[in-house]
Chains A and B, each alone.
Chain A
Protein backbone atom coordinates (compact mmCIF):
# COMPACT_ATOMS: atom_id res chain seq x y z
CA UNK A 1 0.00 0.00 0.00
CA UNK A 2 1.33 3.45 -0.74
CA UNK A 3 1.27 6.46 1.46
CA UNK A 4 0.62 9.88 0.03
CA UNK A 5 2.74 11.88 2.42
CA UNK A 6 5.23 13.30 -0.11
CA UNK A 7 3.53 16.68 -0.24
CA UNK A 8 3.70 17.09 3.53
CA UNK A 9 7.36 16.25 3.64
CA UNK A 10 8.24 18.61 0.81
CA UNK A 11 6.39 21.44 2.47
CA UNK A 12 8.13 20.67 5.73
CA UNK A 13 11.55 20.64 4.08
CA UNK A 14 10.97 23.88 2.22
CA UNK A 15 9.74 25.54 5.39
CA UNK A 16 12.90 24.51 7.17
CA UNK A 17 15.15 25.73 4.38
CA UNK A 18 13.54 29.14 4.61
CA UNK A 19 13.74 29.26 8.37
CA UNK A 20 17.29 28.18 8.91
CA UNK A 21 19.94 30.75 8.52
CA UNK A 22 23.11 29.00 9.49
CA UNK A 23 23.99 25.40 8.71
CA UNK A 24 22.13 22.74 6.78
CA UNK A 25 22.24 20.45 9.79
CA UNK A 26 19.11 22.23 11.07
CA UNK A 27 17.07 20.32 8.50
CA UNK A 28 17.87 16.92 9.93
CA UNK A 29 16.30 17.60 13.26
CA UNK A 30 12.83 17.54 11.76
CA UNK A 31 13.31 14.32 9.88
CA UNK A 32 12.04 10.92 10.79
CA UNK A 33 14.08 8.91 13.21
CA UNK A 34 14.13 5.14 13.29
CA UNK A 35 15.82 2.61 15.46
CA UNK A 36 18.34 1.29 12.94
CA UNK A 37 18.29 -2.13 14.54
CA UNK A 38 14.62 -2.54 13.72
CA UNK A 39 14.90 -4.02 10.22
CA UNK A 40 11.20 -4.16 9.63
CA UNK A 41 10.60 -0.51 10.41
CA UNK A 42 13.58 0.57 8.28
CA UNK A 43 12.29 -1.38 5.28
CA UNK A 44 8.82 -0.05 5.88
CA UNK A 45 9.90 3.57 5.90
CA UNK A 46 12.02 3.16 2.80
CA UNK A 47 9.20 1.34 1.03
CA UNK A 48 6.79 4.15 1.85
CA UNK A 49 9.18 6.76 0.53
CA UNK A 50 9.88 4.83 -2.68
CA UNK A 51 6.18 4.30 -3.27
CA UNK A 52 5.39 7.97 -2.67
CA UNK A 53 8.17 9.01 -5.04
CA UNK A 54 6.89 6.77 -7.84
CA UNK A 55 3.30 7.86 -7.25
CA UNK A 56 4.29 11.40 -8.16
CA UNK A 57 4.52 10.23 -11.75
CA UNK A 58 1.84 7.54 -12.06
CA UNK A 59 -1.41 6.59 -10.37
CA UNK A 60 -1.76 3.54 -8.18
CA UNK A 61 -3.68 0.52 -9.37
CA UNK A 62 -6.09 -0.53 -6.66
CA UNK A 63 -7.41 -3.70 -8.29
CA UNK A 64 -5.49 -6.27 -6.26
CA UNK A 65 -5.91 -4.22 -3.14
CA UNK A 66 -9.67 -4.10 -3.63
CA UNK A 67 -9.80 -7.84 -4.16
CA UNK A 68 -8.01 -8.38 -0.87
CA UNK A 69 -10.31 -5.96 0.93
CA UNK A 70 -13.38 -7.69 -0.46
CA UNK A 71 -12.11 -11.12 0.59
CA UNK A 72 -11.41 -9.85 4.09
CA UNK A 73 -14.86 -8.28 4.35
CA UNK A 74 -16.52 -11.50 3.16
CA UNK A 75 -14.58 -13.55 5.70
CA UNK A 76 -15.58 -11.15 8.46
CA UNK A 77 -19.21 -11.37 7.33
CA UNK A 78 -19.13 -15.17 7.65
CA UNK A 79 -17.61 -14.84 11.08
CA UNK A 80 -20.29 -12.42 12.20
CA UNK A 81 -23.00 -14.76 10.95
CA UNK A 82 -21.46 -17.65 12.88
CA UNK A 83 -21.26 -15.59 16.03
CA UNK A 84 -24.56 -13.74 15.94
CA UNK A 85 -26.95 -16.22 14.33
CA UNK A 86 -30.08 -16.29 16.49
CA UNK A 87 -30.40 -20.10 16.51
CA UNK A 88 -29.33 -21.78 19.78
CA UNK A 89 -26.43 -24.09 19.74
CA UNK A 90 -27.23 -27.71 19.02
CA UNK A 91 -29.42 -26.87 16.05
CA UNK A 92 -27.13 -24.26 14.58
CA UNK A 93 -24.30 -26.75 14.32
CA UNK A 94 -24.60 -27.08 10.56
CA UNK A 95 -24.53 -23.35 9.95
CA UNK A 96 -21.55 -23.03 12.23
CA UNK A 97 -19.73 -25.73 10.31
CA UNK A 98 -20.48 -24.06 6.98
CA UNK A 99 -19.40 -20.63 8.20
CA UNK A 100 -16.20 -21.97 9.67
CA UNK A 101 -15.33 -23.75 6.45
CA UNK A 102 -15.97 -20.63 4.37
CA UNK A 103 -13.98 -18.49 6.74
CA UNK A 104 -10.94 -20.72 6.66
CA UNK A 105 -11.13 -21.15 2.89
CA UNK A 106 -11.24 -17.36 2.39
CA UNK A 107 -8.45 -16.90 4.87
CA UNK A 108 -6.37 -19.45 2.99
CA UNK A 109 -7.03 -17.74 -0.33
CA UNK A 110 -5.96 -14.42 1.15
CA UNK A 111 -2.76 -15.97 2.44
CA UNK A 112 -2.05 -17.51 -0.97
CA UNK A 113 -2.53 -14.16 -2.66
CA UNK A 114 -0.19 -12.46 -0.24
CA UNK A 115 2.47 -15.11 -0.65
CA UNK A 116 2.37 -15.87 -4.35
CA UNK A 117 0.85 -12.91 -6.12
CA UNK A 118 2.20 -10.03 -4.07
CA UNK A 119 5.62 -11.50 -3.27
CA UNK A 120 7.99 -8.62 -2.73
CA UNK A 121 6.12 -5.90 -4.60
CA UNK A 122 5.32 -2.73 -2.72
CA UNK A 123 3.37 -0.85 -5.35
CA UNK A 124 1.47 -1.62 -8.55
CA UNK A 125 0.43 1.17 -10.88
CA UNK A 126 -1.88 1.68 -13.77
CA UNK A 127 -0.53 2.29 -17.27
CA UNK A 128 0.12 5.91 -18.10
CA UNK A 129 -2.66 7.73 -19.87
CA UNK A 130 -1.82 9.92 -22.82
CA UNK A 131 -3.98 12.88 -21.86
CA UNK A 132 -4.92 13.01 -18.22
CA UNK A 133 -2.68 13.98 -15.31
CA UNK A 134 -0.60 11.09 -14.10
CA UNK A 135 0.44 10.84 -10.50
CA UNK A 136 0.13 13.40 -7.75
CA UNK A 137 3.40 15.27 -7.94
CA UNK A 138 3.84 18.84 -9.18
CA UNK A 139 3.44 19.17 -12.96
CA UNK A 140 6.76 20.83 -13.60
CA UNK A 141 8.66 17.83 -12.29
CA UNK A 142 7.00 15.34 -14.59
CA UNK A 143 8.14 14.50 -18.12
CA UNK A 144 5.62 15.54 -20.77
CA UNK A 145 3.73 12.52 -22.10
CA UNK A 146 4.88 13.29 -25.62
CA UNK A 147 8.48 13.10 -24.55
CA UNK A 148 8.40 9.73 -22.81
CA UNK A 149 10.46 7.35 -24.90
CA UNK A 150 9.31 4.08 -23.40
CA UNK A 151 5.95 3.44 -25.05
CA UNK A 152 5.36 0.30 -23.01
CA UNK A 153 4.51 2.53 -20.10
CA UNK A 154 1.28 3.45 -21.80
CA UNK A 155 0.27 -0.17 -22.12
CA UNK A 156 1.45 -1.84 -18.96
CA UNK A 157 1.44 -0.71 -15.37
CA UNK A 158 4.60 -0.64 -13.32
CA UNK A 159 5.37 -3.05 -10.48
CA UNK A 160 7.72 -1.72 -7.86
CA UNK A 161 9.53 -4.42 -5.90
CA UNK A 162 11.91 -4.02 -3.05
CA UNK A 163 14.35 -6.43 -1.49
CA UNK A 164 16.02 -5.96 1.82
CA UNK A 165 17.40 -9.22 3.20
CA UNK A 166 17.68 -9.56 6.92
CA UNK A 167 20.92 -8.32 8.43
CA UNK A 168 22.08 -6.99 5.08
CA UNK A 169 22.82 -3.34 4.40
CA UNK A 170 21.81 -3.43 0.74
CA UNK A 171 18.39 -2.23 -0.25
CA UNK A 172 17.35 -3.04 -3.81
CA UNK A 173 14.50 -1.42 -5.70
CA UNK A 174 13.29 -2.99 -8.93
CA UNK A 175 10.86 -1.37 -11.36
CA UNK A 176 9.38 -3.68 -13.93
CA UNK A 177 6.35 -3.85 -16.18
CA UNK A 178 3.31 -5.45 -14.64
CA UNK A 179 1.59 -8.32 -16.48
CA UNK A 180 4.26 -8.63 -19.12
CA UNK A 181 5.94 -12.01 -19.47
CA UNK A 182 9.67 -11.81 -18.75
CA UNK A 183 9.52 -8.10 -18.43
CA UNK A 184 12.82 -6.26 -18.51
CA UNK A 185 13.49 -4.22 -15.41
CA UNK A 186 15.32 -1.27 -14.02
CA UNK A 187 16.91 -1.77 -10.67
CA UNK A 188 19.24 -0.10 -8.27
CA UNK A 189 20.96 -1.18 -5.10
CA UNK A 190 21.83 1.19 -2.32
CA UNK A 191 23.48 0.79 1.03
CA UNK A 192 21.19 1.92 3.80
CA UNK A 193 24.07 3.94 5.11
CA UNK A 194 23.44 6.37 2.29
CA UNK A 195 20.10 7.39 3.75
CA UNK A 196 20.42 6.77 7.46
CA UNK A 197 22.98 8.14 9.83
CA UNK A 198 24.25 6.67 13.08
CA UNK A 199 21.32 7.96 15.14
CA UNK A 200 18.80 6.71 12.62
CA UNK A 201 17.86 10.03 11.02
CA UNK A 202 16.33 9.34 7.64
CA UNK A 203 17.20 11.30 4.51
CA UNK A 204 13.84 11.12 2.82
CA UNK A 205 14.55 13.70 0.13
CA UNK A 206 17.72 11.91 -0.87
CA UNK A 207 15.92 8.63 -1.40
CA UNK A 208 13.16 10.37 -3.33
CA UNK A 209 15.70 11.93 -5.68
CA UNK A 210 17.35 8.57 -6.26
CA UNK A 211 14.01 6.95 -7.01
CA UNK A 212 13.18 9.79 -9.39
CA UNK A 213 16.40 9.08 -11.27
CA UNK A 214 15.50 5.40 -11.42
CA UNK A 215 12.05 6.21 -12.71
CA UNK A 216 13.43 8.48 -15.42
CA UNK A 217 15.61 5.59 -16.53
CA UNK A 218 12.45 3.54 -16.91
CA UNK A 219 10.80 6.35 -18.85
CA UNK A 220 13.72 6.34 -21.27
CA UNK A 221 13.59 2.60 -21.62
CA UNK A 222 17.07 2.24 -20.22
CA UNK A 223 16.69 -1.31 -18.92
CA UNK A 224 19.29 -3.31 -17.08
CA UNK A 225 21.21 -5.64 -19.33
CA UNK A 226 21.57 -8.66 -17.12
CA UNK A 227 18.00 -9.69 -16.32
CA UNK A 228 18.85 -13.05 -14.73
CA UNK A 229 20.66 -11.39 -11.88
CA UNK A 230 17.45 -9.82 -10.70
CA UNK A 231 15.71 -13.06 -9.78
CA UNK A 232 13.35 -12.85 -6.85
CA UNK A 233 15.00 -13.81 -3.58
Chain B
Protein backbone atom coordinates (compact mmCIF):
# COMPACT_ATOMS: atom_id res chain seq x y z
CA UNK B 1 0.00 0.00 0.00
CA UNK B 2 2.80 2.37 0.83
CA UNK B 3 4.41 1.52 -2.48
CA UNK B 4 1.17 2.56 -4.24
CA UNK B 5 1.14 5.88 -2.43
CA UNK B 6 4.78 6.38 -3.30
CA UNK B 7 4.15 5.55 -6.97
CA UNK B 8 1.25 7.98 -7.09
CA UNK B 9 3.43 10.70 -5.64
CA UNK B 10 6.12 10.00 -8.22
CA UNK B 11 3.56 10.24 -11.04
CA UNK B 12 2.30 13.54 -9.67
CA UNK B 13 5.83 14.86 -9.44
CA UNK B 14 6.56 13.87 -13.04
CA UNK B 15 3.36 15.57 -14.20
CA UNK B 16 4.41 18.65 -12.29
CA UNK B 17 7.84 18.71 -13.86
CA UNK B 18 6.34 18.86 -17.34
CA UNK B 19 4.47 22.05 -16.60
CA UNK B 20 6.99 24.61 -15.39
CA UNK B 21 4.48 27.29 -14.47
CA UNK B 22 2.55 24.91 -12.25
CA UNK B 23 5.81 23.71 -10.70
CA UNK B 24 6.82 27.27 -9.88
CA UNK B 25 3.42 27.91 -8.36
CA UNK B 26 3.60 24.82 -6.15
CA UNK B 27 7.18 25.60 -5.06
CA UNK B 28 6.19 29.12 -4.10
CA UNK B 29 3.22 27.70 -2.25
CA UNK B 30 5.51 25.44 -0.26
CA UNK B 31 7.85 28.36 0.39
CA UNK B 32 4.95 30.50 1.61
CA UNK B 33 3.88 27.84 4.07
CA UNK B 34 7.38 27.51 5.48
CA UNK B 35 7.84 31.24 5.60
CA UNK B 36 4.50 31.75 7.32
CA UNK B 37 5.77 29.69 10.23
CA UNK B 38 9.08 31.55 10.15
CA UNK B 39 7.36 34.93 10.07
CA UNK B 40 5.16 34.07 13.03
CA UNK B 41 8.33 33.20 14.93
CA UNK B 42 9.99 36.46 13.89
CA UNK B 43 6.85 38.34 14.79
CA UNK B 44 6.98 36.82 18.27
CA UNK B 45 10.64 37.76 18.51
CA UNK B 46 9.73 41.32 17.59
CA UNK B 47 6.92 41.60 20.11
CA UNK B 48 8.64 39.97 23.05
CA UNK B 49 12.05 41.55 22.34
CA UNK B 50 13.53 38.17 23.09
CA UNK B 51 15.92 36.13 20.97
CA UNK B 52 14.02 33.00 21.68
CA UNK B 53 10.39 33.62 22.52
CA UNK B 54 9.51 29.94 22.94
CA UNK B 55 11.78 27.49 24.76
CA UNK B 56 11.54 23.89 25.88
CA UNK B 57 12.38 22.90 29.44
CA UNK B 58 15.21 20.39 29.24
CA UNK B 59 15.91 19.45 32.84
CA UNK B 60 13.90 18.68 35.92
CA UNK B 61 15.38 21.46 38.03
CA UNK B 62 12.11 23.37 38.27
CA UNK B 63 9.81 20.57 39.32
CA UNK B 64 7.03 20.47 40.34
CA UNK B 65 6.24 23.77 38.58
CA UNK B 66 7.76 22.86 35.19
CA UNK B 67 8.59 19.39 33.92
CA UNK B 68 11.06 18.30 31.30
CA UNK B 69 9.29 18.67 27.96
CA UNK B 70 7.15 21.70 28.80
CA UNK B 71 7.03 24.64 26.44
CA UNK B 72 7.58 28.09 27.93
CA UNK B 73 6.53 31.40 26.38
CA UNK B 74 8.92 34.20 27.20
CA UNK B 75 8.57 37.94 27.31
CA UNK B 76 11.61 40.14 27.44
CA UNK B 77 9.80 43.42 27.03
CA UNK B 78 9.52 43.77 30.80
CA UNK B 79 11.74 46.44 32.28
CA UNK B 80 12.46 44.91 35.63
CA UNK B 81 12.44 41.36 36.87
CA UNK B 82 11.70 40.79 40.51
CA UNK B 83 12.17 38.14 43.13
CA UNK B 84 10.02 35.10 42.47
CA UNK B 85 9.84 35.52 38.69
CA UNK B 86 10.70 32.48 36.62
CA UNK B 87 13.27 33.58 34.04
CA UNK B 88 15.32 32.01 31.29
CA UNK B 89 18.93 33.13 31.17
CA UNK B 90 22.11 32.27 29.35
CA UNK B 91 25.52 32.28 30.95
CA UNK B 92 28.10 34.08 28.86
CA UNK B 93 29.84 31.86 26.30
CA UNK B 94 27.52 28.94 26.94
CA UNK B 95 24.83 27.79 24.50
CA UNK B 96 22.14 26.27 26.59
CA UNK B 97 19.60 28.57 28.23
CA UNK B 98 18.54 27.75 31.78
CA UNK B 99 15.12 28.13 33.37
CA UNK B 100 15.23 29.05 37.07
CA UNK B 101 13.59 31.36 39.59
CA UNK B 102 15.03 34.65 40.85
CA UNK B 103 16.12 34.50 44.45
CA UNK B 104 17.76 37.86 45.16
CA UNK B 105 17.79 41.24 43.45
CA UNK B 106 20.25 44.01 44.27
CA UNK B 107 19.96 47.46 42.70
CA UNK B 108 22.49 50.24 43.20
CA UNK B 109 21.91 53.97 42.88
CA UNK B 110 22.86 53.97 39.17
CA UNK B 111 20.10 51.56 38.37
CA UNK B 112 22.45 48.63 37.80
CA UNK B 113 20.80 45.39 38.80
CA UNK B 114 22.37 42.17 40.05
CA UNK B 115 20.42 38.93 40.26
CA UNK B 116 20.83 35.54 41.88
CA UNK B 117 18.83 32.54 40.68
CA UNK B 118 18.04 29.06 41.91
CA UNK B 119 16.13 26.11 40.53
CA UNK B 120 13.10 25.12 42.61
CA UNK B 121 14.21 21.52 42.69
CA UNK B 122 17.90 22.22 43.38
CA UNK B 123 19.49 22.24 46.80
CA UNK B 124 21.79 25.21 46.21
CA UNK B 125 21.62 28.45 44.25
CA UNK B 126 23.10 28.80 40.79
CA UNK B 127 26.50 30.25 41.73
CA UNK B 128 27.95 26.85 40.88
CA UNK B 129 26.60 27.17 37.36
CA UNK B 130 27.81 30.69 36.64
CA UNK B 131 31.13 31.38 34.91
CA UNK B 132 34.16 31.02 37.18
CA UNK B 133 34.42 34.14 39.33
CA UNK B 134 30.91 35.31 38.48
CA UNK B 135 28.68 35.81 41.50
CA UNK B 136 25.71 37.65 40.04
CA UNK B 137 23.71 37.75 36.84
CA UNK B 138 22.92 40.95 35.01
CA UNK B 139 19.76 42.03 33.23
CA UNK B 140 21.39 41.45 29.80
CA UNK B 141 21.86 37.78 30.57
CA UNK B 142 18.14 37.29 30.93
CA UNK B 143 16.41 36.10 27.76
CA UNK B 144 12.96 36.69 29.14
CA UNK B 145 10.45 36.13 31.87
CA UNK B 146 8.19 33.10 31.59
CA UNK B 147 4.63 34.21 30.95
CA UNK B 148 2.90 31.05 29.78
CA UNK B 149 3.37 27.35 29.50
CA UNK B 150 2.13 24.27 27.63
CA UNK B 151 2.56 20.92 29.30
CA UNK B 152 4.53 18.19 27.54
CA UNK B 153 4.13 19.66 24.04
CA UNK B 154 7.89 20.15 23.91
CA UNK B 155 8.56 16.41 24.01
CA UNK B 156 8.47 16.50 20.18
CA UNK B 157 11.40 18.92 20.14
CA UNK B 158 13.37 16.78 22.56
CA UNK B 159 12.77 13.70 20.41
CA UNK B 160 13.83 15.58 17.27
CA UNK B 161 16.98 16.70 19.04
CA UNK B 162 17.91 13.29 20.28
CA UNK B 163 17.32 11.60 16.93
CA UNK B 164 18.23 14.16 14.22
CA UNK B 165 17.22 11.77 11.44
CA UNK B 166 13.59 12.34 12.42
CA UNK B 167 13.93 16.00 11.47
CA UNK B 168 14.84 15.21 7.89
CA UNK B 169 12.22 12.52 7.54
CA UNK B 170 9.49 14.81 8.84
CA UNK B 171 10.43 17.80 6.70
CA UNK B 172 10.90 15.63 3.63
CA UNK B 173 7.46 14.06 3.94
CA UNK B 174 5.74 17.38 4.55
CA UNK B 175 7.49 18.94 1.56
CA UNK B 176 6.49 16.09 -0.72
CA UNK B 177 2.86 16.27 0.27
CA UNK B 178 2.61 20.02 -0.14
CA UNK B 179 4.29 19.94 -3.55
CA UNK B 180 1.94 17.33 -4.91
CA UNK B 181 -1.32 18.52 -3.40
CA UNK B 182 -3.07 21.02 -5.59
CA UNK B 183 -5.19 23.32 -3.55
CA UNK B 184 -3.44 26.40 -4.88
Chain A residues proximal to chain B, CB less than 8 Å? 1, 3-5, 40, 44, 62, 65, 68-69, 72-73, 75-76, 79, 82-83, 89-90, 93, 96-97, 99-100, 103-104, 107, 110
Q: Does B84 contact A (CB under 8 A)?
A: no
Q: Are A72 and B28 in touch, CB under 8 angstroms?
A: yes
Q: Are A100 and B21 in touch, CB under 8 angstroms?
A: no
Q: Are A69 and B43 in touch, CB under 8 angstroms?
A: no
| Bound-state Cα–Cα, A75 to B36, Å | 10
Distance in angstroms from B92 CB to nearest chain A CB is 15
Q: Are A100 and B28 in touch, CB under 8 angstroms?
A: no
Q: Tell me the number of A-to-B contacts counted with CB atoms below 8 Å.
A: 61
Q: Does B38 contact A (CB under 8 A)?
A: yes
One digit per residue, 1 when the CB lies within 8 angstroms of any chain A CB and 0 when it does not, for chain B 12-36 equals 0001001101101100110110011
| Bound-state Cα–Cα, A141 to B69, Å | 66
| Bound-state Cα–Cα, A61 to B140, Å | 57
Distance in angstroms from A73 CB to nearest chain B CB is 7
Minimum CB distance partner of A99 in chain B: B42
Interface residues of B: mostly helix, strand, loop or mixed?
A: helix
Given the interface pairs A3-B22, A4-B19, A73-B28, the reply to whether A96 lies near B42 with Cβ below 8 Å is yes
Chain B residues proximal to chain A, CB less than 8 Å? 15, 18-19, 21-22, 24-25, 28-29, 31-32, 35-36, 38-39, 42-43, 45-46, 49, 51, 182-184
Q: Are B46 and A69 in touch, CB under 8 angstroms?
A: no
Interface residues of A: mostly helix, strand, loop or mixed?
A: helix
Most buried by A among B15, B38, B42: B42
| Bound-state Cα–Cα, A96 to B51, Å | 12
| Bound-state Cα–Cα, A62 to B31, Å | 21
Q: Are B49 and A69 in touch, CB under 8 angstroms?
A: no
Q: Are B39 and A79 in touch, CB under 8 angstroms?
A: yes
Q: Are B51 and A100 in touch, CB under 8 angstroms?
A: no
Specify which chain A residues have a CB less than 8 angstroms from the CB of B36 in the assembled complex.
Answer: 107
Q: Which of B22, B25, B35 contacts A103 (CB 8 A)?
A: B35
Specify which chain B residues have a CB less than 8 angstroms from the CB of A110 in the assembled complex.
Answer: 32
Specify which chain B residues have a CB less than 8 angstroms from the CB of A104 in the assembled complex.
Answer: 39, 43
Q: Are A69 and B35 in touch, CB under 8 angstroms?
A: no
Given the interface pairs A44-B182, A76-B35, the reply to whether A100 lies near B24 with Cβ below 8 Å is no
Q: Are A3 and B19 in touch, CB under 8 angstroms?
A: yes
